[in-house]
Structure 1
Amino acid sequence: MTAHRRLIRRTALAVTAGAAAFALAACGSDNGGHDTGSMNSGSSLSATASAKAGAHNDQDVSFSTEMIQHHRQAVAMADLAASRASSPEVKDLATEIKGAQAPEIKTMSGWLASWGEEVPEDMSSAMPGMDHDMSSSMPGMMSSEDMAKLEKASGTGFDKMFLEMMVEHHEGAITMAKAEKADGKQSPAVKLADDVITAQTAEIEQMNKMLGKS
């Protein structure tokens, strides 16, 4: 009888211990699986963020910073055409230039901000000529004297001056864009550089025809 009771007690204890071990294993499996999944997900997101943060180089930063300033001057020149140009073709071209380059300024400013880089301040409205002088080292940029002459011109004189200056300005932008294509790393920036080359090459051809050069 005593032996029988001991057997029952051992069996009950074994069952209880087994159940407890199973419950602990199940809990450990659930928590472990959840934590591992979170860690893997977090690592993946972190790696993705790091990849995005490292997807640009110094050339991309220089291109965006300088092209913002370059585009701003082109937009300022285009704005003058609305009231000073006499040719409807010149006015239409100026509208197209502003329509293309103003959104690109916003795009490049967004890139710089996302990279933790400084977006260049637009000084053109603060002190006339300052923005142009500060950026004069960029190819194709007009000097403050050039801009002053354009601002004073009107009629057919403005048309000719605007076209000649904008051809030079576009040629400088193409030079900058080619440097980005050669040495840039961030795909959208390189793509924008390619778009600049395509669009502004076509506009140079159009402006030269308007000037009677081809």
Structure 2
Amino acid sequence: MSVSGCTPARRTPRLAALALLGTLTLSACGGTDADPAAEASPSAGPTASDGPRVVQGGEPGEDAREVSGDDAVAQDEWSHDDVMFMQMMVPHHAQALRMSELAPERAQDPRVLRLAERIEAAQGPEITMMAAWLDERALEVPSAKDPMALDHGEHGHASMEGMLTDAQMEALARTRGAAFDELYVRSMIRHHEGAVAMADETAGEGIDARVGELRDDVTASQSAEIARMQDLLDGR
């Protein structure tokens, strides 16, 4: 007997023949040239052609979102405000380190000495990170010790707020004991306030994620230190 035009190899019992009928109809005689991969269920998950998926953090207050690998690469961009913040903050941090380096031989209050140590421990590595960020993008890395690096007006940068003048730095270096403690803390409060102001001023047009994280960290950590330093002054 034949099934849909196909001849079985041998005679089989009736029940086996009925089972074979369905098999032959679907496979041997009812086959298709369609690519099995094209009929894969959508629920099978992304294929290699979908590309890698990357979770990208949002701005403060925004949720993270999933982006494609190509979109993630496109996010590796920066703005003038990003460059301005990084270039100004290198010498700004460097002056805070020079101020703090005076403390071990001049500070009388152990709380002031601990404050200076915390500032050195935090801002030293940040200078290294900022310089690396600029260097990776073939951008100018300001000299931490060159006074000319403090003048960014000619490059369209905002003024560096909170910086001590040379005369103020010399006056700080001449003081000792309680006089140093008070002058150092008051000067550092203004210095921190300047850093927070610069972070805020350059945040509007910033687009680089790493710079944004540093801005947030500067704002949070230095605002907290301003409050602690003010408490220290109030308790004297």
Structures share fold, TM-score greater than 0.5: yes
Give the residue type in structure 2 aligned to 1:83. Answer: E
Matched, 1:191 2:180: no
Q: What is the match of residue 51 of structure 1?
A: 74
Matched residues in 2 for 1:156 and 1:213: separation? Answer: 13
Q: What is the match of residue 33 of structure 1?
A: none
Matched, 1:163 2:185: yes
Rate the CA distance shift 1:76–1:168 in 2: closer, same or farther, 3 A. same
Q: 1:178 aligns with which of 200, 205, 208?
A: 200
Q: What is the match of residue 111 of structure 2?
A: 89
Rate the CA distance shift 1:74–1:132 in 2: closer, same or farther, 3 A. farther
Matched, 1:203 2:228: no
Give the residue type in structure 2 aligned to 1:58. Answer: H
Answer whether contact 2:189 2:229 (CA < 8 A) is retained: yes
Matched residues in 1 for 2:120 and 2:172: separation? Answer: 17
How many residues align? The count is 165
Runs of 5+ consecutive residues of structure 1 not aligned to the other structure: 1-46, 125-129
TM superposition shift of 1:191: 0.9
Matched residues in 2 for 1:212 and 1:135: separation? Answer: 35
TM superposition shift of 1:179: 2.0
Give the residue type in structure 2 aligned to 1:193. Answer: R
Tell me the percent identity: 36
Matched residues in 1 for 2:235 and 2:108: separation? Answer: 19
Matched residues in 2 for 1:209 and 1:83: separation? Answer: 23
* Alpha-carbon RMSD: 2.6
Matched, 1:62 2:84: yes
TM-score (norm 2): 0.64
| Partner deviation per Cα, 1:55-94 (whole Å, 9 max, x = no partner) | 1111111100000110000011011111110110000000
TM-score (norm 1): 0.70
Structure 2 counterpart SS, 1:211: helix
Q: 2:126 aligns with which of 91, 96, 104?
A: 104
